Structure 1
């Protein structure tokens, strides 16, 4: 979905605050699936509260994983691009979980947006329940949501993506092989595969 700068403008003090999360913070490491030496790397810029991102993960990602990731054709890398404060909170929680639980957790959040992101109740309380199912204690959950350094680091990654990859909507994708192809918005598997081939051939 198209984004605005509301998230960034709403937190000027956070952006200007002294760094708390260091570059070596393992929570900020790459999260992805597929062979590191795959001929094409695909970066997906996504927001956990984006319904179009949820549709991609439901309708297209399963075939991408089966036909492209598991065959060694691509490595898929997830890049946090939160569109709002709730998505930022969810991204922080996902990043705090052990790396091997990241994919399952974001998949659960995207598949169950109505349960936490669009609930009639308190979204953060529902997010806490989802985090608990993933093994995160309530004390740790509260600690993560108070970590301004991690929040700012994720926002800075988003701002870098805006500049470097001209991201203007979520989901957006950067296909990197012999050539680079960028695409915004949800897409079918056929279109995804076409862009992979274009990036591979150069």
Structure 2
């Protein structure tokens, strides 16, 4: 199913100039932006991940490293993961808008699909084709075109998301993806074995 010209233009207008993000500084109101997380809120270690849906290294982490962290640390109650979206470009924001269009209990399923199929949707030559692929992922998650139209045309939500991202990234000194904080200490990307060692150290193991 193809997006109509109206749908495409609405989505493009929503994040026009997203690369520069003019006028969306840290002072922008960010009420209503839900923090997305996995694991026990009272876990002794908090792992914050800053990731962008168009970032290839983020996709590798999502598919090769995170499942092991989830199995050994998040699902066992040792670590809570806080996932923070980064918007260095328009498609990254579009993908986030689709992911957040669904109920929160479906968010991480869409995130997994966005990373697993990143080359398919993010590699499209035109923005129209990219949006069509994103809508396809949304439909597989149970969203209707009408629901996604409403989400993609919600400029106030887009501005709130961007402002929240800018606020957090500035506070944590994040300028690349993926970036991580382990109990507040900034870390770069690394193989699972190094993550495990740092998480164990934070746990006092």
- TM-score, normalised to structure 1's length? 0.84
The whole-number CA distance in structure 2 between the counterparts of 1:149 and 1:46 is: 22
Deviation at 1:119, TM superposition (A): 2.4
Dislocated runs of 4+, deviation >4 Å: none
Deviations 1:3-27 (A, max 9, x none): xxx8451x425x28xx7x861x3xx
1:163-182 mapped onto 2 (5 Å cutoff): 163-176=170-183, 180-182=184-186
Query: CA RMSD, aligned part only?
Result: 2.2
The whole-number CA distance in structure 2 between the counterparts of 1:29 and 1:158 is: 12
1:166 and 1:109, CA in 2 relative to 1: closer, same or farther beyond 3 A?
A: same
The match for 2:201 is 198
Q: Among 135, 143, 147, which residue is 1:136 paired with?
A: 143
1:182 aligns to what SS in structure 2?
strand
Deviation at 1:54, TM superposition (A): 0.1
The match for 1:3 is none
Deviation at 1:194, TM superposition (A): 2.1
The answer as to 2:95 corresponding to 1:78 is no
* Runs (5+) with no aligned partner, structure 1: 1-5
The whole-number CA distance in structure 2 between the counterparts of 1:112 and 1:80 is: 17
The whole-number CA distance in structure 2 between the counterparts of 1:183 and 1:70 is: 22
- TM-score, normalised to structure 2's length? 0.83
2:83 aligns to what SS in structure 1?
strand
